[in-house]
């Protein structure tokens, strides 16, 4: 009894202290107003973690980057190496290269932090890329999230620039070769190319200012922009709420999942620790960017088999595949073999990505808000376009290593280059056609499952003497998802006053191409679910999962 009374008194004191602390904080901070925010629902599907992986990789980049700035010297002043790495003793090099070698061999834990930083950069860009693909294939870029799609793409572009700037700072032979290619790309820009190159490099190549300028951009300008856009991106995610997969109890008017506190915060903290731990393990066991084997950069030397990081590999491939083609205009030479693959092609690719949400909305005439994800098979044209773009990128990425592939597999470099050129033209359309047919086949399979149910594996003999497999009813949740698919009708040619006839015809043609080929889901007696049963199932699903307050 005495022990119970002591426990009761201790509990009462703890409650009183907690109430006093909350009241004190609430009088000075918006604590009570944040209660609704702490109960915000987050989806549980694994695909929604891709954005978090990108965010936590960025956090690791910031932490390790701050540490590296304490030891790196962004100077191109020439010095003679006299450190602990004997193969470089007496070699003349820039102070930037020497400080990077010193970080790797003379600073305790320096090599580990350097490699954590580099691996985190690769994972950061990879996670953003895969996250963007998830958003594209599920239609999560549609209204009201067009602005967030634009912000996400801008983050990807800035991350590419940030990665290239950091990759170029050590001033080793590999990164110096990349900077030489970048200078050639600048020079290919008509009229202003030479001025751009002189401004960036501070004079004739290689100049004395490129490393200090890249350093300022890498640690100040681009990180500030990234932090600002990530903040805006997260604010919009909270305001617009997450998309979610279709299911019983999930609609365009609610959000079903785990509340932010404590479930989501606990899981998210665990994910951050896992990302940090795996990056550290990678840095400890997988060597990356061993600059001491490349040596310091010299303008008269090009490293053999130089391969950039994967995120700029497609630019390397496009440069290697473009045939030599130049035009002389009024005494000036336009280098199409550099301008087209390294300036116009990337610009066109990102312009298409920026414009796609608005293009799809114009073609489909869809002005509604969407908070439920599409299954990729339900939008065969969009999915086909996405796969074609991935194949196009993949061909360019492989072409960026055509010399390594030719040497490894003992094939002709010229033959391999022509194979990649032909593949760049033929593979994306073929991938589009195949993907579209696969999506339609999957839609047909879904229709058959709704009509007949799932195969049970049991075979019985029919009255006619043949054999047939028995079918059972679908799982209610899966049946709901299959029945939830709705395909809009293609648009008719516009008859509105003031509309140009050819624009209306073009829009109708594109709409027919986008929505014309499809498999409509037909309601069957076996799969039909009455309205009361559907309502009861939705209520049950709502009781099983946390659903946030109806938003917007």
Model confidence at 498: pLDDT above 80: no
432 close to 384: Cβ distance less than 8 angstroms: yes
Strands 78-80 and 92-94: antiparallel
pTM for this one? Answer: 0.86
Write down the pLDDT at residue 274: 96
292 Cβ neighbours under 8 A, 6+ residues apart: 85, 87, 88, 101, 104, 105
**Closest C-alpha among 493, 496, 497 to residue 507:** 493
What Cα–Cα distance (Å) separates residue 549 from each residue in 140, 256, 522? 20, 9, 33
Place of tokens 């470099």: 413
- The tens digit of pLDDT for each residue in 358-406 reads 999 998 888 888 888 999 999 999 999 999 999 999 999 999 989 889 9
Tell me the range of 84-98, 234-248, 320-334 where mean pLDDT is highest: 84-98
Model confidence at 528: pLDDT above 60: no
Cα–Cα distance measured from residue 71 to residue 66, given in angstroms and rounded to the nearest whole number? 10
Cα–Cα distance measured from residue 363 to residue 512, given in angstroms and rounded to the nearest whole number? 9
Length of the chain: 552
- The tens digit of pLDDT for each residue in 236-282 reads 988 888 888 888 888 788 888 888 777 888 889 999 999 999 999 99
Model confidence at 433: pLDDT above 80: yes
Write down the pLDDT at residue 338: 92
pLDDT, average across residues 208-218: 93
Cα–Cα distance measured from residue 529 to residue 534, given in angstroms and rounded to the nearest whole number? 6
Question: What is the overall mean pLDDT for the chain?
Answer: 86
Sign of the Cα pseudo-torsion (340, 341, 342, 344, in order) = positive
The band of 309, judged by pLDDT with boundaries at 50, 70 and 90, is: confident
Please state which of the ranges 150-154, 271-275, 446-450 shows the lowest mean pLDDT: 446-450
pLDDT, average across residues 469-492: 80
Tell me the range of 203-207, 248-252, 284-288, 510-514 where mean pLDDT is highest: 284-288
Higher-scoring residue by pLDDT: 407, 516: 407
Counting residues of the chain whose pLDDT is more than 90, the rounded percentage is 52
Write down the pLDDT at residue 525: 39
The band of 543, judged by pLDDT with boundaries at 50, 70 and 90, is: very low
Model confidence at 538: pLDDT above 50: no
341 close to 321: Cβ distance less than 8 angstroms: yes
Cα–Cα distance measured from residue 395 to residue 429, given in angstroms and rounded to the nearest whole number? 13
Write down the pLDDT at residue 549: 47
Write down the pLDDT at residue 120: 97
- The tens digit of pLDDT for each residue in 41-91 reads 788 888 888 999 999 999 999 999 999 999 999 999 999 999 899 999 999
Model confidence at 472: pLDDT above 70: yes
Strands 244-245 and 372-373: parallel
The band of 533, judged by pLDDT with boundaries at 50, 70 and 90, is: very low
Write down the pLDDT at residue 494: 63
**Closest C-alpha among 58, 42, 222, 228 to residue 127:** 58
Place of tokens 């549980």: 44
- The tens digit of pLDDT for each residue in 2-34 reads 777 777 887 778 777 767 776 766 666 555 555
Write down the pLDDT at residue 547: 57
Write down the pLDDT at residue 502: 81
Please state which of the ranges 9-13, 284-288, 334-338, 358-362 shows the lowest mean pLDDT: 9-13
Q: CA torsion angle for 146, 147, 148, 150 (degrees, to 10)? A: 90
What Cα–Cα distance (Å) separates residue 353 from each residue in 133, 185, 456? 11, 22, 44
Write down the pLDDT at residue 417: 94
Place of tokens 């339900």: 378
- Helix 110-138 and helix 95-105: axis angle, to 10°? 100
Cα–Cα distance measured from residue 129 to residue 389, given in angstroms and rounded to the nearest whole number? 13
Write down the pLDDT at residue 535: 40
Q: How many CB atoms lie within 10 A of CB 174?
A: 22
Please state which of the ranges 255-259, 408-412, 514-518, 531-535 shows the lowest mean pLDDT: 531-535
pLDDT, average across residues 460-477: 82
Q: Rounded to 5 degrees, what are φ and ψ at 201?
A: -95, -5
**Tokens read off for 392:** 């196009």
pLDDT, average across residues 330-352: 90
* SS3 per-residue string spanning 55-73: HHHHHHHHHHHHHHHCCCC
The DSSP letter of residue 549 is P
Angle at 151 between CA 146 and CA 156, to 5 degrees: 125
Cα–Cα distance measured from residue 2 to residue 18, given in angstroms and rounded to the nearest whole number? 24
The band of 503, judged by pLDDT with boundaries at 50, 70 and 90, is: confident
254 close to 547: Cβ distance less than 8 angstroms: yes
């Amino acid at each position: 009894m005495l022990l119970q009374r002591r426990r009761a008194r201790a509990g009462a004191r703890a409650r009183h202290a907690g109430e006093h602390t909350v009241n004190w904080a609430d009088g000075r901070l918006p604590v009570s107003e944040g209660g609704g925010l702490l109960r915000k629902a987050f989806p549980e599907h694994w695909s929604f973690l891709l954005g978090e992986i990108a965010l936590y990789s960025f956090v690791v980049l910031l932490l390790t980057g701050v540490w590296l700035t304490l030891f790196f010297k962004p100077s191109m002043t020439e010095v003679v190496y006299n450190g602990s790495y004997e193969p470089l003793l007496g070699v003349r090099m820039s102070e930037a290269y020497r400080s990077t070698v010193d970080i790797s061999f003379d600073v305790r834990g320096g090599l580990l932090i350097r490699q954590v930083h580099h691996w985190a950069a690769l994972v950061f860009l990879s996670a953003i890329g895969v996250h963007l693909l998830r958003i594209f294939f599920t239609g999560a870029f549609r209204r009201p999230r067009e602005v967030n799609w634009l912000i996400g793409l801008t983050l990807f572009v800035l991350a590419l620039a940030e990665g290239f700037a950091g990759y170029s700072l050590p001033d080793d032979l590999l990164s110096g070769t990349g900077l030489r290619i970048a200078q050639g790309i600048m020079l290919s820009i008509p009229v202003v190319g030479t001025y751009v190159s002189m401004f960036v490099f501070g004079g004739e190549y290689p100049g004395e200012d490129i490393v200090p300028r890249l350093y300022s951009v890498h640690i100040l300008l681009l990180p500030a922009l990234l932090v600002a856009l990530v903040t805006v991106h997260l604010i919009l995610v909270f305001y617009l709420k997450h998309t979610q997969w279709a299911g019983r109890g999930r609609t365009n008017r609610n959000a079903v999942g785990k509340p932010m506190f404590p479930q989501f915060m606990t899981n998210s903290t665990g994910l951050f620790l896992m990302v940090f731990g795996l990056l550290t393990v990678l840095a400890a066991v997988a060597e990356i960017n061993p600059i001491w084997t490349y040596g310091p950069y010299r303008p008269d030397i090009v490293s053999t088999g130089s391969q950039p990081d994967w995120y700029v590999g497609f630019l390397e491939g496009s440069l290697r595949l473009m045939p030599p083609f130049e035009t002389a205009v009024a005494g000036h030479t336009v280098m199409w073999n550099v301008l087209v693959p390294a300036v116009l092609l990337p610009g066109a690719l990102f312009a298409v990505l920026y414009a796609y949400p608005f293009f799809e909305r114009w073609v489909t005439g869809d002005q509604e808000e969407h908070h439920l994800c599409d299954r990729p098979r339900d939008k065969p044209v969009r999915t086909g376009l996405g796969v074609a773009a991935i194949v196009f990128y993949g061909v360019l990425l492989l072409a960026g290593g055509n010399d390594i592939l030719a040497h490894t597999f003992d094939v002709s470099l010229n033959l391999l280059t022509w194979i990649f050129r032909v593949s760049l033209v033929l593979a994306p359309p073929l991938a589009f056609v195949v993907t579209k047919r696969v999506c339609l086949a999957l839609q047909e399979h879904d229709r058959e499952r709704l009509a007949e149910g799932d195969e049970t594996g049991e075979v019985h003999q029919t009255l006619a003497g043949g054999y047939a497999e028995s079918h059972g009813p679908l799982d209610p949740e899966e049946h709901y998802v299959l029945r939830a698919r709705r395909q809009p009708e293609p648009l008719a040619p516009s008859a509105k006053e003031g509309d140009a006839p050819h624009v209306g015809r073009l829009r109708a043609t594109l709409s027919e191409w986008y929505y014309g080929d499809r498999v409509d889901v037909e309601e069957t007696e076996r799969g039909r679910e009455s309205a009361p049963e559907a309502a009861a199932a939705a209520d049950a699903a709502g009781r099983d999962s946390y659903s946030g307050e109806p938003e917007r």
